[in-house]
A and B are shown apart, each in its own frame.
Chain A
Amino acid sequence: MNNILSNRIRQGYRTVEFPSDNIQLPEAYRGRPILNPNASDEDVQKVASLCPADAINPDERTLDMGKCLFCGKCQSIKQNFIRFTRDYRMFVLKREDLIIKDTLKEPDTSSLKTIKKLFGKSVYMREVCAGGCNACDADINVLNTPVYDLSRFGIKFVASPRHADGLVVTGPITKNMELALMKTYDATPSPKFVVAVGTCAISGGIFRENEEVVGGVDKILPVDLYIPGCPPHPFTNLYAFVKFFK
């Protein structure tokens, strides 16, 4: 017992103040990308052909953050088109807003009056992993650790879709999970919402052309919130949830 208490004292208070301007992610972290509209065509072409995710449309000079893996491959060559900031704050309400010309603009969530009224004080979510590699799930799971402490905002993950107000979906939706996902969605009482977390859930990611996957949640369900990343940093998820519901 003494040991438990002394350990508790040594552990101290670990929960990060949020939202806060003091959260600094390490230099190596690749967050919200910024495109340079004045970059040379050659640079754009170079980046487009290098990108493993084919996230760049060289004709339109756009980057699809719903396909980007944030792998940093484009940062390994000399180019003047894309750079990544350390800003973890990324989410959108519409799929097309993820296709950026310069950078991601934060959506105005004050207009989401119904969502905030219905779910703002207390919201229960059910997570469904549908073919993801477990990274997105693991980084959603850590929101329950003392550091992020999601439940202080009245947001909680629950075991049953029947107890949930909405779904959080990860993975490219394998054909083998499609039915289970639809059943889970149907079991969730209305009004409900769907959140797509991670590149795979948004666009199917690198699996999008495989016949074994559906290739993105919004192919089969209406999505209300998109959180990009491969996987999104826990702070990215936390920020998006808080902005969306609060």
Chain B
Amino acid sequence: MGLLKIENGVAVNIEDIPLLTFDEFKDKILKFTKTGYVVQHFAVPCYGIKGDTTNNKNNNENNNKNKTSYKIYTVLRNDGGLYVISTIVGNSYESLSQYDIKFHMFEREIAEQFGIVPKNHPWLKPVRYHKNYTGNPDVFGNDYTMPIPGNYPFYEVEGEEIHQVAVGPVHAGIIEPGHFRFNCIGETILNLEIQHGYQHRGIEKQLITCKKKILPPLIESVAGDTVIGNSICFSEAIEGLCDYVANEPLLNYRRLLLEIERIANHIGTLGGLAGDVGYLPTASYYGRIRGDFLNMFVFICGNRFGRSSVQPFGVPFKLSDSHIVELIRRFEKLKKEVIDVGNLMLDNPEVLGRFDYTGMVDTETAKLIGLVGPAGRASGIEYDVRKSFSKAKNIYDRGIELVVRKDGAVSSRAKTYFYETLDSIEFCMGLLKVSDLKINSNNNSSNNNGNSKKLEEITLKPNSFIITMEEAWRGELSHCIITDENGNIIRYKIKDPSFHNWTALELAVRNEGIYDFPLCNKSFNLSYCGFDL
């Protein structure tokens, strides 16, 4: 059928990936995305890929010609599974966004990274503001010696009483930079446009040129609040490219940490929501309780965000029996507080008066833009990587429920965060109580069974394509690695869930009062650095 079915964390040979002509490719994926979704959609220059360079090795002219062709890989998903498909394009192609909005940001990204023009793209603007990797003429006509924002056209509403509000990049709080441009009539927001790029550090470029020893800290620095999520995707991708099979205790250990990360961040979000409506009890108690969960990370690995705790081929920090007993004790104590303090807020009519019917994203819109994560589930999308594609699905099936709500308002997102937090706390306690010995034996075995490999010394499978996915606390996080004939990484693509979800924030605030923007923003709590890379 022209699509290759693949699995999360299992490498496939790049030659097995169907290569279609652009028209076939377009028909195929547009048909698919009527009911399915886009996981990844990115370009790789052809001269970096084996088949093409060998053909043209002796011919400079052909090599130059090859510089103008690119492979586009698309990973799609539906309830049935994950699929990959590819095509070759030149310096321009017909934009898919004009038919399906899900490709909108992906196509802008491809245009910015490689200078390929998606013709008839409805809103072709830079994503991050940097010069492209290829030296092709810039699609946007920007001069990158000029600081951001060189020449952004923002969407404008015209009319006598329309006014624009420009916010950022430096925001009022202790928060990352980004630019928000509102078109308002009175206090009502007619349109919001979000422009990122201020956090762009060139991570995707660095990932393919840096020494292997820098990879783990680099991945941990993609987004400081999603250290575990990114490290799991990275580790499973590397392991998949070495045919290393992580045993269940290792999966347990990583998911324990991932759930702690989720709990800490969800509680932080809920505390922030309480703060944004001026409900101080929950704001301050949850601020402290979030810290108590982060301190579990210090207890396990010495860093409040779980840095260096998840790495390929094993675990650097051991969980002793006394660790487990202490963690269970902390979970039991905190569980009660989390429930009490959360109910305090969610039972309060004044709080609910602000939360209910605010910042709504209905199911139809959510499906249209491919919303993921708790925000998607709050809008009625029944999708959670933990319950579908995760490597640890079996473990999650024992304890994690799919929390889905309908109306997609701030209150639904808040309740989704709250019930997912409670679910995760129960899950962690179960994991610690039932699987404790196994986690320990894993620690020992991974050091002793001769299977222990070192990242610096391994060679990755050549000519391979691998995708890994996990439900990070914001939603579907995905890493994709392509290797060349020597097993070197020639493309490392990271997609943070925020890449899908920022669009939802733009839509959620339409026709809301501008005073409710902070509340709507916090209810999505999206990543700037994970988006900007």
Interface residues of A (CB under 8 A from B): 3-4, 7-8, 10-11, 14, 25-26, 28-30, 50-53, 69-73, 76, 127-142, 144-147, 157, 159-161, 171-172, 174-180, 184, 200, 205-207, 210-213, 230-231, 233-234
Contact = CB atoms under 8 A, between A and B. Distances in A.
A30 B302 contact: yes
B287 A131 contact: no
B25 interface: no
B125 to A, nearest CB: 15
A211 to B, nearest CB: 7
Contacts of B148: 176, 179
Contacts of A73: 213, 308
Interface in B325-340: 337, 340
Contact of A128 (B130, B170, B301): B170
B175 A207 contact: no
A7 B341 contact: yes
A231 B307 CA distance: 10
Contact of B176 (A26, A28, A129): A129
Interface of B: 128-130, 147-148, 169-170, 172-177, 197-202, 205-206, 213-214, 216-218, 220-225, 227, 268, 281, 284-285, 287-288, 290-291, 295, 298-305, 307-308, 316-317, 337, 340-341, 344, 347, 527-529
B201 A212 contact: yes
B174 A177 contact: no
B287 A142 contact: yes
A75 to B, nearest CB: 9
Given A25-B298, A28-B317, A133-B222, A207 B202 contact: yes
A140 B173 CA distance: 11
Given A7-B344, A211-B202, A26 B298 contact: yes
Contacts of B129: 176
Given A177-B199, A207-B202, 11 more contacts: A8-B281, A52-B216, A72-B316, A73-B213, A76-B316, A134-B529, A135-B307, A142-B291, A146-B287, A176-B199, A213-B201
A26 B302 contact: yes
A176 B130 CA distance: 9
Nearest to A137: B174
A155 to B, nearest CB: 13
Contacts of A233: 298, 304
B301 to A, nearest CB: 6
Contacts of A174: 198-201
A11 B177 contact: no
Contact of B340 (A7, A71, A160): A7
B148 to A, nearest CB: 4
Contacts of A200: 221
Given A7-B341, A180-B177, A213-B201, A28 B225 contact: no
A158 to B, nearest CB: 9
B173 A132 contact: no
B530 to A, nearest CB: 8
A177 B169 contact: yes
Nearest to A182: B147
B344 A177 contact: no
Best-buried of A127, A134, A136 by chain B (most CB within 10 Å): A134
A139 B28 CA distance: 47
A130 B174 contact: no
Contacts of A147: 288, 291
Given A147-B288, A212-B130, A26 B529 contact: no
Given A76-B316, A135-B225, A176 B304 contact: no
15 contacts: A7-B341, A7-B344, A28-B301, A51-B213, A52-B214, A69-B307, A131-B200, A132-B224, A138-B305, A141-B173, A176-B130, A177-B199, A210-B206, A231-B224, A234-B291
Best-buried of B170, B316, B527 by chain A (most CB within 10 Å): B170
A157 to B, nearest CB: 6
A138 B291 contact: no
Nearest to B297: A28
A221 B206 CA distance: 26
A4 B130 CA distance: 50
Contacts of A51: 213
B198 A52 contact: no
B299 A28 contact: yes
Nearest to B275: A144
Best-buried of B129, B287, B527 by chain A (most CB within 10 Å): B287
Contacts of A71: 216-217, 307-308
Contacts of A129: 174-177, 199
A237 B216 CA distance: 25
Contacts of A53: 217
Q: Which 6 A-B pairs have the closest CB atoms?
A: A135-B224, A133-B224, A159-B172, A28-B302, A212-B202, A145-B287
Contacts of A206: 214, 217-218, 221
Contact of B174 (A28, A157, A171): A157
Nearest to A51: B213
A178 B147 contact: yes
Nearest to B129: A176
Contacts of A177: 169, 177, 198-199
A169 B177 CA distance: 12
A132 B147 contact: no
A146 B201 contact: no
Contacts of A142: 287, 290-291
A205 B284 CA distance: 32
Contacts of A231: 224, 304-305
B202 A134 contact: no
A205 to B, nearest CB: 8
A114 B337 CA distance: 45
B209 to A, nearest CB: 10
A6 to B, nearest CB: 9
Best-buried of A8, A51, A133, A161 by chain B (most CB within 10 Å): A133
Nearest to A134: B224
Nearest to B281: A4
B38 to A, nearest CB: 26
Contacts of A213: 201-202
Best-buried of B172, B198, B216, B284 by chain A (most CB within 10 Å): B198
A52 B213 contact: yes
B169 A146 contact: no
Contacts of A210: 201-202, 205-206
Given A8-B281, A11-B285, A207-B206, A180 B199 contact: no
Contact of B298 (A28, A140, A172): A28
A212 B529 contact: no
